[in-house]
Structure 1
Amino acid sequence: MKIVLAPDSFKESMTAAQAVAAMERGVRRVHPDATCVRVPMADGGEGTAQAVVDALGGELRTVDALDALGRPVRATYGLVAAPGGTDGGASIAVVEVAAAIGLARIDPAEREPLAATSAGAGLLLLDALDQGAGRVVVGLGGTATNDGGAGLLRALGAVLRDAEGRALVAHGAPALAAVTSVDLTGLDARLAGLDLLVACDVTSPLLGPAGATAVFGPQKGVDAVRAPVLEAGLARLASALHAAVGHDVAAVPGAGAGGGLGAALLALGGRLVPGVELVARAVGLAECLVGADLVLTGEGAVDAQTARGKTPAGVAGLAAAAGVPVIAFAGRVLDPAPLLELGVLDVVEITPPGMPRAEALARGAEHLERAVAAALLARADVG
């Protein structure tokens, strides 16, 4: 029996590799002789750099950066040689913005979206350019920021100006509240020749009820008081970016990803690519599915957003094309319908009812192992 283990990370509980290990332990409880194919996945967020580096060979490079509150941190990104000597021999960098400005770096009590800046992500891109990268894959997701990428743009040489033409010094919401134009003339010249791919797992625009503030803001500390302040600032930035680049980057699906970093990277000439598709190609998931009897996937929460480019949906799509059944697992299952509509056999919540969140996160691997074993025992029709 061949079982492909292809989960994403379970946010704040397990990395994708740890989830794979827990799944394998669960499989072996029921099918000790099964062939388990380990394929840690990602969709542009946590684990993307590791997945691509593991698939293509390369290294993880650790550099000085800033977290979302502007504090010095050490952050890691991936650097690999271009396959087959493409890109003129230039390296390919894989940057997860969450490595610097991720939500996981900020204690819940310290999260302040009005002050948060994406400048640290810009520092990672600058280092990648210093290392000779001709292509940069930027994984969006999991950020503690909601600044529309203003901090990243400034780190790369852009200048935000107020109505009097003065360069703004402030970061976060204070800068957004005053910005009327974005001067891109001082951008690092190396960006002009860069192939910038933006691995994105959502289709949200920058603004509105489906935008960065409304959909992703609450997990970052955005409440009813902060939301209108941030939305108004992002609208000002969107207008300034439109004037600077000649088209409305804010309306593009995915512009709202990463607290609006999608919009900023589009303004730099980036191309939005579904993150799960990019990672799946890099790790050879389609090839791993050949001859498989079952696929196990999952992530921290399954909800209405899951079908919009998240790892379980991407894995389910490839598995369906290969004719392989899928079972998905999650710490919380808020809405299983989108995955069930994709043909997933079952969507299993691994957390015992009523368990406090902190305990559930700490014991995630234990719960996943147990849930996998129980699901396999219950499905005599698989394998």
Structure 2
Amino acid sequence: MRRVVLAPDSFKGSIRAADAASALATGWREVDPTADLVLRPMADGGEGTLDAFAAAVPGARRMPVVVSPPWGDSRDGVDAAWLLLPPTPDAPRGTGVVELASTSGIELFGDRREPWHASTVGFGEAIDAALTAGVSRLVLAIGSSASTDGGAGMLAALGARFTTEGDVPASLRSGAVGLRRMTGVDLSGLRPLPPGGATVLTDVAAPLCGPAGAAAVFGPQKGFGRVDIPEIDAILARYAALFEVDPATPGAGAAGGTGFGLLAWGASLVPGAAEVARLIGLADAVAAASLVVTGEGAFDGQSAAGKAPAYVSAVAAALGVPAALVAGRIDPRADTTAFAASVSLTELARAALPGSAGAPPGPASIAPALGPAEAALADPARWLRAAGAALARALS
């Protein structure tokens, strides 16, 4: 009996990792019902991290919390939750897992973007709730952010005081705009870390400023125009000078600089995919398998820098197990040589449109055309089932 590990990340804004793994499994079984399919949904610190922990840890409890929305001043709250993991010897009062994506994330905006006004206040409020509950340690997932506020909103929610000229309190609910006139910070009122500290899961190693920093690399996807990038980068540099933290620290630019804010609090940054993989026992599952299938919504140049599919393929390669990739879209410039097969649902859908040449797929892309691109976005589970069946036919 062939064992196949299904370890996709979430397809951002489309389908959760657990549901993606289930859809792939359903499609695989249609072709190969005897296969031993092991589902290990992955995450790298972004959307779906809370779900991955909840699925992997028996006794984990979601703790509801209402937090401020990420789009600035508003009376409306965001219904969210943090996760309480059961007590362990090194965390006798449990571990609190807080996800930025579900409290201050870009998915909360839908199709709109508010790059200058999005803040991390809600993320800080959720962390504050976990601290108030008395957790022994924190695990903080900071991917999928909407803001570029350097984590200032989060720090303000935890008790930091920011000021402008004349010692006037600065409003950090307004996001990056609030950093423009900031001249001082007082961290004396900041809530202390829990006894076991705070571990930050991130999927990028970017510094806070410069050509590889938060504004230059990630600003455009949050809505900043090209002309905005130099200004917001300069604002972040002035903001960083208020702290005794090196803005060039790898990961400081993660989540629009939230990594920097968490470093200022005293937290430790670690690669998110590696920590989640350790928790769910990915290496043990892959070691006993003959194939591992991973994936995400968009596989591009950033995917190799700490994203879940790249980490899963590295684990598989180290164990001598082939890996396959399924993604909604694969950037033609992205390196997919680590995968025995790759499936781009969007490109395959385009090939199936009326009038398409429908050329046979090459050796690196083995799925048949699955349907129009619009159908893929509207019903990702259906397309993933079809991709699972195609992989089973080609690789069994």
Report if TM-score (shorter chain) is over 0.5.
yes
Instruction: Pick closer, same or farther for the CA change 1:312–1:221 going to 2, 3 Å.
Output: same
Which position in structure 2 is the counterpart of 1:77?
82
Post-superposition Cα deviations, 1:146-173, rounded to whole Å, max 9, x if no partner, equal 1110100100110112233322135323
Q: Map Cα deviations across residues 207-265 of structure 1 (whole Å, 9 max, x no partner).
A: 12211112222222111243333222212211112xxxx331x2111111111100000
- In 1, distance between residues paired with 2:27 and 2:194? 49
Quick check: 1-10 or 45-54, which moved more? 45-54
User: What's the counterpart of residue 366 of structure 2?
Assistant: none
- Which range moves more in the overlay, 138-147 or 74-83? 74-83
What are the equivalent positions in structure 2 for 1:138-157 lying under 5 Å apart?
Answer: 138-157=140-159
State the partner residue of 1:177: 180
Q: Which moved more, 1:68-77 or 1:197-206?
A: 68-77
Q: Which of 331, 336, 344 pairs up with 2:339?
A: 344
Distance 2:271 2:194 in 1: 23
Letter in 2 for 1:365: A
Aligned residue number for residue 86 of structure 1 = 90
**Displacement, 1:24?**
0.5
2:10 corresponding residue in structure 1: 9
- Partner SS, residue 365 of structure 1: helix
Deviates more, 1:157-166 or 1:203-212: 157-166
Dislocated runs of 4+, deviation >6 Å: 354-357
| Cα shift at 1:192 | 6.4
Contact 1:304 1:335 in 2 (8 A): no
Cα distance change on mapping 1:60 and 1:344 into 2, 3 Å: same
- Cα deviation, residue 90, structure 1: 2.1
Q: Give the deviation of 1:335 after TM superposition.
A: 4.2
Tell me whether 1:33 sits opposite 2:37 in the alignment. no
Within the candidate set 241, 257, 261, 1:260 is matched to 257
Give yes or no for contact 1:173–1:229 (8 Å, CA) kept in 2.
no
Q: 232-241 vs 265-274, which deviates more?
A: 232-241
> Cα–Cα, structure 1 residues 357 and 260, in superposed 2: closer, same or farther, change >3 Å?
farther
Aligned to 1:289: 286
Helix, strand or coil at the partner of 2:250: coil
Mean Cα deviation higher: 19-28 or 167-176: 167-176
Partner of residue 372, structure 1:
388
CA distance in 2, matches of 1:41, 1:336: 24
Alignment coverage as a number of residue pairs: 369
Please give the secondary structure, in 2, of the residue aligned with 1:360.
Answer: helix
AA matched with 1:363: D
CA contact (8 A) 2:299 2:334 kept: no
- Mapping of residues 155-166 of structure 1, within 5 Å: 155-166=157-168
* Residues 313, 339 of structure 1: 8 Å contact kept: no
- Which range is displaced more, 28-37 or 347-356? 347-356
1:325 to 304, 314, 322: 322
1:124-165 CA-to-partner distances (Å, cap 9, x unmatched) read: 100110111121111011111111101001001101122333
Assess, with a 3 A threshold, how the Cα gap between structure 1 residues 359 and 335 changes in structure 2: closer, same or farther. Answer: same
What TM-score results when the alignment is normalised by the length of structure 2?
0.89
Question: Which secondary structure state, in structure 2, belongs to the residue aligned with residue 217 of structure 1?
Answer: helix
Paired residue type of 2:111: P
CA shift, 1:10, in A, is 0.2
User: Do the aligned partners of residues 303 and 196 (structure 1) sit closer, same or farther apart at CA in structure 2, a change above 3 Å counting?
Assistant: same
Partners of 2:333 and 2:382 lie apart in 1 by 22
User: Which residue does the alignment assign to 1:271?
Assistant: 268
1:47 maps to a residue whose letter is G
Letter in 1 for 2:342: V
Secondary structure at the counterpart of residue 338 of structure 1 = coil
89, 114, 117: which is aligned to 1:115? Answer: 117
Q: Which residue is 2:356 aligned to?
A: none
Cα distance in structure 2, aligned partners of 1:303 and 1:40: 20
**Pair 218,344 (structure 1): closer, same or farther in 2 beyond 3 Å:** same
The worse-fitting range, judged by mean Cα deviation, of 29-38 and 218-227 is: 218-227
Contact preservation (8 Å) 2:220, 2:226 = no
- Aligned residue for 2:232? 230
Displacement of 1:345 in angstroms is 0.8
Taking only aligned residues, the RMSD between alpha carbons, in angstroms, comes to 1.8
Unaligned ranges ≥5, structure 2:
354-371
**What is the letter of the counterpart of residue 138 of structure 1?**
L
1:309-336 CA distance string (max 9 Å, x none): 1100111111112221100110010047
Q: Residues 357 and 130 from structure 1, CA distance in 2 versus in 1: closer, same or farther, beyond 3 angstroms?
A: farther
Contact 1:306 1:338 in 2 (8 A): no
CA distance in 1 between counterparts of 2:186 and 2:235 reads 17
Cα 1:67/1:34, change in 2 over 3 Å? same
Name the residue aligned to 1:314. Answer: 311
- The match for 1:124 among 123, 126, 136 is 126
Residues 336, 344 of structure 1: alpha-carbon distance in 2 compared, 3 angstrom cutoff: farther
Please tell me the residue identity of whatever aligns with 1:257: A
Secondary structure of the corresponding residue to residue 301 of structure 2: coil
Tell me, which stretches of 5 or more residues in structure 1 are unaligned? none
When normalised by structure 1's length, the TM-score is 0.92
